[in-house]
Chain A
Amino acid sequence: MTIPADLLYTNEHEWVSIEDGLATVGITEYAQNELGDIVFVELPEAGTEVEAMETFGTIEAVKTVADLFSPANGTVEEINTTLEDHPELVNTDPYGEGWMIKIKVREEPEGLLTAKEYKEMIT
């Protein structure tokens, strides 16, 4: 189970990569594995305000729907529109092409887990 060391994590299985106040968010390999084949990802529109640990969308597998939680307070800058026609990218490349949204954060997010802490959480 890959858990990239240079990313931060939420206890709801999202990963975050922050650079110059822009946070890229997706779900972890562990999460996509638990969910199974992803068939649909519901993302917010660009410009939507998001709050830390509030839902920003949902992700659907064949027999389940899960909420997606924002790791930070901010505004949605960009969404991964490729997921509309290719939701399976979340399964095949969860840390790369399976990214979901980019948030322009208001302040540095708190309470995120390191790779080590996330690994402990899922074992």
Chain B
Amino acid sequence: MRYTPHTEAEILQMLKVIGLETVDDLFRSIPQQVQQACKLDLPGALSEMEAAELIEDLARSNYDPAGVVSFLGGGAYDHYVPAVVSQLISRSEFYTSYTPYQAEVSQGTLQAIYEYQSLICRLTGMDIANASGYDGASVSADAALMACQIRHGSEVVLISETVNPAYRKVVETYCSSSGHRIVAVPSADGATDSEKLGKLLDGKAACLIVQQPNFFGVVEDIDALGAGAGGAGALFVVVSDPIGLGILKTPGEAGADIAVGEGQAMGVPLSYGGPYLGFFATRDRYKRQLPGRIVGKTEDSRGRAGYVLTLQTREQHIRRERATSNICTNQALIALAATVYMALTGKEGFRKVAGLCLQKAHYLAERIAELPGYSLAFAKKPFFREFVVETPRPPGEIIERMLEKKFLAGIDLGKIDEKLKGKMLVTVTERRTRAQMDSFVEALGGM
């Protein structure tokens, strides 16, 4: 990668052209007392060697991912990132470019995004996808706002209690000034309570948001949920896991109006929480309410295929305060990683990865349930990749003791919700080997 900073001489030359003498002169319009208050007390510069030593030291306070075996999930997953993905996204043409504002000049970038959009449509079974949003949480919120725009006049957003709690918080934040009420649909035995849902679908809801599989790893009955929503005139929003779509019914097949989700599982490293990827797809009839960037394919004056940003009148740089969202960018590089992953893995590959996650999770769940004091919390429900266990000791204690044995045992759900005290969320991706799972069970049993 090349970075060419300006020389002192070039800077002085530019200042001269605009009639200034120093770079500080550019900030003259900021009041003196504000400038004083912002004086930074930074230590002196470090050499490259010293800086590298400092960063490496900081990094050493984290666990080396190769040194611990992770059974963590809850929205971010330890799936395998193929080497091809890292190799391709490291190309400087991709790595350093930003969202193309002089869009049509960047045909390569636009083509990559167009292919990403096309793959997301295939994955979700929907008609049109945008160029991506920030992460699963923010696209869920944007989906709620989009539904409210389409169902103009409806004041309620229904969201299942089984949707990732962090996503629900973000939806609340986004809707807090839009005048819409968020109503949580209670859960029963780890899945959305369809009876209670029935009472909440009173014709006033703009949408129903559910997650598949849900936060507890339980596979929801999305056909029934979708039918219920549709019957009450509410839009059906499904927050999907992309790997799950390798074997689960797609939102498209289940009659969803909007399909969103977190794309991190597709070739994106965990990176301590981000950057991640929000995918967003919908039906053709709602395309004008679709937020975010959309890349379209067209022909130039000589009949050659070309790519453009399209339907821009939805966006805030044209529609201003009446735009469907304030997002005016995308997660280009992360979306590219996901695109490479999808192209490389393919339909069959997705099926295989999903199959491994399903079988391995069931294997581990069965073995853990055999341990004295352990049981599956939602034993009667089908689950994918994750499951909740009831533990004989507080999950926090177990997690701490297992960490000493180099296992990231799971998530203490009681920390997220008082009502889930004594429950631990355990995740098994295709990366976990039988040996690792057996060692895990042995360590749990030996406590």
* Cβ-defined contact, A63 with B318, below 8 A: yes
Assess A65 versus B318: contact at CB under 8 Å? Given A40-B313, A60-B313: yes
List the B side residues contacting A63 at CB < 8 Å.
312-313, 318
Give the shortest distance, in Å, between A8 (CB) and chain B (any CB).
Answer: 28
Tell me if B319 is interfacial: C-beta within 8 Å of chain A: yes
Q: Which single residue of chain B is at the shortest CB-CB distance from A65?
A: B313
Q: How many residues belonging to A are interface residues under a CB distance threshold of 8 Å? A: 8
A2 within 8 A of B: no
Inter-chain contacts of A39 with B (CB < 8 A): 313
Question: Which residues from 33 to 74 on chain A have a C-beta closer than 8 Å to any C-beta of chain B?
Answer: 39-40, 60-65
A26 to B313, CA, bound (A): 21
Question: Does the CB pair B288–A65 fall under 8 Å?
Answer: no
A-B contacts, CB under 8 A, total: 15
Contact A64 B318 (CB under 8 A): yes
Give every chain B residue within 8 A of A60 (Cβ-Cβ): 313
Q: Pick from A40, A63, A65 the residue with the most CB of B within 10 Å.
A: A65
> Please, which residues of chain A bring their CB within 8 A of the CB of B288?
40
Chain B proximity of A61: nearest CB distance (Å)? 8
Bound-state Cα–Cα, A60 to B312, Å: 10
CB under 8 Å from chain A, chain B span 311-337? 312-313, 318-319
* Across-interface contacts of B319 in A (CB, < 8 A): 65
Q: Provide the bound-state CA to CA distance between A62 and B318, in Å.
A: 10
Q: How far is the CA of A62 from the CA of B319 in the complex (A)?
A: 12
Bound-state Cα–Cα, A60 to B288, Å: 11
A40 to B319 CA separation, bound complex (whole angstroms): 14
Chain A residues, CB < 8 A from B312: 62-63
Closest to B288 in A: A40
Q: Which residues of A contact B313 (CB under 8 A)?
A: 39-40, 60-65
Question: When chains A and B are docked, how far (Å) is the Cα of A28 from the Cα of B225?
Answer: 48
CB nearest neighbor in A for B317: A63
* A and B contact pairs by CB, cutoff 8 A, 15 listed: A39-B313, A40-B288, A40-B313, A60-B313, A61-B313, A62-B312, A62-B313, A63-B312, A63-B313, A63-B318, A64-B313, A64-B318, A65-B313, A65-B318, A65-B319
B residues with a Cβ closer than 8 A to A are 288, 312-313, 318-319
12 new A-B pairs (CB below 8 Å) besides A62-B312, A64-B313, A65-B313? A39-B313, A40-B288, A40-B313, A60-B313, A61-B313, A62-B313, A63-B312, A63-B313, A63-B318, A64-B318, A65-B318, A65-B319
